[in-house]
């Protein structure tokens, strides 16, 4: 399998090269030259596989140059770090409604599904491409990617990890997870801005010849842990297949029956993986794009106009507080007939003017596969409360956004006699946002996160993840705060690479 850039850069690259590079030299995102299929006998074989085997099989369709045996072993080792016997259990909430729990990994968020595998994919890709350079993993995060990348790559030989997050744009548990991160090859800094500011700076570092030259002088090359890297996106395709197969083996559907998926969406990577699964032959009817108050994606799907010239809101679902959704570029490339020139022009217009508009024909293509809706804070809280009150199921705030959108879609947009199964993809453990979850379920405000954990445990009887409970006593290592300026952020990265930044632990937080 070869990969090409969404912006038409010359030539094509192997899967290993796409993973090592992260971002194409022209600023575009790598996409598969064609979509592989998993149908017929191959699909039947997946029924008997466990989750690591299913994931490895999906990855082998895109990353054949890494070797099937390697992929099987990589997935087996990665998912052995998860709690329980199933890394991605499908939970039935009520007839026709299910939640795919993706938060049983080391950092209690769905990003673990890919970022426990990516370090192994990257190491193997470096071997396959013959690269002798060390790698700097550079990531912007709205809360979950950063911790998952830090944890996945900590102390991995030949790598360093630098993560930027918005100073006021993450939850306390997310902040503590990053600020207390251990490992001798990691660096974390908050930025006085929002996620889009962090992401813009990271992309500019990838595009900067001067910055990359300085890295090269230090014997390093850049790669990404964000979903702009196809190696981050590819493992996410697998859990769509696995959810469908679990419905099938559980007698909830018949083979070939269509299923809807509702996905809490910020950077568009999680839901794009579902669209990729559909292109591979998975019987997906509709992908519901669930936005929070920052409704740029819901508005785009409804109108065909992508417009970031709007107020930015900080919400109780901070991982979705994003206005510039990087992975949408991959979908734009596909619906335009793989018109790389047009895709590049639209990305340039977004950077310059803050907007672009697709054609009515393209909008119809999107509408055939996607449905977009947003949830206000009150909508989200009510949906979380109703599901807990009626079915005893507690969910985090991002998943609550999806629960509201799924309910509206099923009750208002489709015929009441339409019994198409709906799978909601979860974002994180409820304990990652204990105060907000407790407020949604009880109306009580708790100022301290760990008191929130205790009360949520008493209310739900769910066992709090050990990794989150340990945060209370871990020393804070990283306190750097930077302005949202490329030169300051790149300077901090270069100092880190050169060994000049030594975090000083603090005893309390």
pLDDT of residue 350: 97
Query: Is residue 84 one of the residues assigned to a domain?
Result: no
Per residue in 190-234, pLDDT (tens digit) is 999 999 999 999 999 999 999 999 999 989 999 999 899 999 999
Task: With a cut of 80, say whether residue 503 has pLDDT above it.
Answer: no
pTM for this structure? 0.95
Task: With a cut of 80, say whether residue 261 has pLDDT above it.
Answer: yes
Domain boundaries, position 269: 90-106+231-432
* Phi–psi pair at 207, nearest 5 degrees: -85, -15
Query: Is residue 130 one of the residues assigned to a domain?
Result: no
Query: Is residue 256 one of the residues assigned to a domain?
Result: yes
Query: Is residue 346 one of the residues assigned to a domain?
Result: yes
Mean pLDDT, residues 482-493 taken together: 95
* Confidence at 10, pLDDT banded by 50, 70, 90: confident
The rounded Cα 385 to chain-centroid distance in angstroms is 25
d(CA 341, CA 8) in angstroms, rounded, equals: 7
Rounded to whole angstroms, what are the CA distances from 267 to 24, 139, 178, 323, 456? 18, 13, 20, 8, 29
Task: With a cut of 90, say whether residue 506 has pLDDT above it.
Answer: no
CATH number at residue 248: 3.40.50.1100
Residue written as tokens 């809490």? 264
By three-state DSSP, how is residue 110 classified?
Answer: coil
| DSSP letter assigned to residue 319 | G
By three-state DSSP, how is residue 289 classified?
Answer: strand
Query: Is residue 81 one of the residues assigned to a domain?
Result: no
The count of structural domains within the chain is 1
Task: With a cut of 60, say whether residue 463 has pLDDT above it.
Answer: yes
Query: Is residue 67 one of the residues assigned to a domain?
Result: no
Percent of the chain's residues with pLDDT above 70: 98
Query: Is residue 122 one of the residues assigned to a domain?
Result: no
With beta carbons less than 8 A apart as the criterion, state whether 23 and 31 touch.
no
* Phi–psi pair at 406, nearest 5 degrees: -60, -40
pLDDT of residue 501: 56
Query: Is residue 259 one of the residues assigned to a domain?
Result: yes
């Amino acid at each position: 399998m070869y990969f090409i850039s969404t912006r038409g850069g010359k030539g094509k690259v192997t899967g290993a090269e796409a993973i090592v590079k992260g971002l194409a030299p022209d600023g575009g995102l790598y996409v598969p030259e064609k979509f592989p299929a998993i149908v017929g006998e191959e699909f039947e074989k997946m029924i008997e596989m466990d989750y690591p085997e299913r994931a490895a099989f999906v990855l082998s369709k895109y990353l054949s140059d890494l070797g099937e045996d390697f992929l099987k072993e990589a997935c087996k080792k990665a998912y052995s770090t998860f709690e329980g016997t199933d890394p991605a259990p499908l939970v039935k909430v009520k007839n026709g409604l299910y939640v795919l729990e993706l938060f049983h990994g080391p950092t209690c968020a769905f990003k673990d599904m890919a970022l426990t595998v990516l370090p192994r994919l990257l190491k193997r890709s470096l071997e396959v491409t013959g690269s002798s350079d060390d790698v700097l993993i550079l990531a912007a995060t709205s809360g979950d990617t950063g911790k998952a990348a830090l944890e996945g790559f900590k102390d991995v030989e030949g790598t360093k990890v630098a993560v930027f997050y918005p100073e006021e744009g993450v939850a306390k548990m997310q902040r503590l997870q990053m600020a207390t991160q251990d490992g001798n090859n990691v660096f974390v800094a908050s930025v006085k801005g929002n996620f889009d500011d962090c992401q813009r700076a990271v992309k500019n570092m990838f595009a900067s010849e001067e910055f990359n030259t300085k890295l090269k002088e230090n014997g390093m090359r850049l790669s990404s842990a964000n979903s702009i890297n196809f190696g981050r996106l590819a493992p996410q395709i697998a859990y769509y297949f696995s959810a469908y197969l679990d419905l099938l083996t559980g007698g909830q559907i018949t083979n070939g029956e269509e299923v809807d998926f509702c996905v809490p969406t910020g950077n568009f990577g999680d839901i794009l993986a579902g669209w990729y699964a559909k292109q591979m032959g998975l019987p997906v009817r509709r992908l519901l794009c669930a936005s929070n108050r920052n409704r740029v994606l819901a508005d785009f799907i409804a109108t065909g106009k992508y417009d970031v010239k709007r107020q930015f809101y900080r919400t109780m679902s901070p991982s979705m507080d994003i206005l510039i959704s990087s992975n949408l570029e991959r979908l734009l490339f596909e619906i335009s007939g793989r018109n790389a020139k047009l895709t590049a022009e639209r990305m340039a217009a977004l950077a310059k003017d803050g907007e672009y508009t697709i054609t009515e024909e393209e909008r119809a293509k999107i509408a055939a596969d996607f449905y977009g809706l947003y949830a206000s804070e009150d909508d989200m809280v009510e949906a979380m409360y109703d599901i807990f009150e009626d079915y005893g199921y507690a969910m985090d705030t991002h998943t609550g956004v999806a629960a509201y959108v799924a309910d509206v879609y099923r009750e208002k947009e489709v015929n009441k006699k339409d019994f198409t199964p709906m799978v909601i993809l979860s974002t994180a453990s409820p304990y990652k946002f204990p105060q907000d979850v407790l407020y949604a379920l009880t109306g009580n405000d708790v100022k301290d996160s760990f008191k929130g954990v205790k009360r949520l445990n008493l209310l739900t009887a769910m066992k709090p993840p050990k990794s989150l409970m340990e945060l209370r006593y871990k020393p804070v290592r990283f306190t750097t705060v930077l302005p949202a300026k490329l030169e300051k952020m790149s300077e901090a990265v270069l100092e880190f690479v050169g060994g000049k930044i030594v975090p000083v632990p603090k005893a309390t937080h």
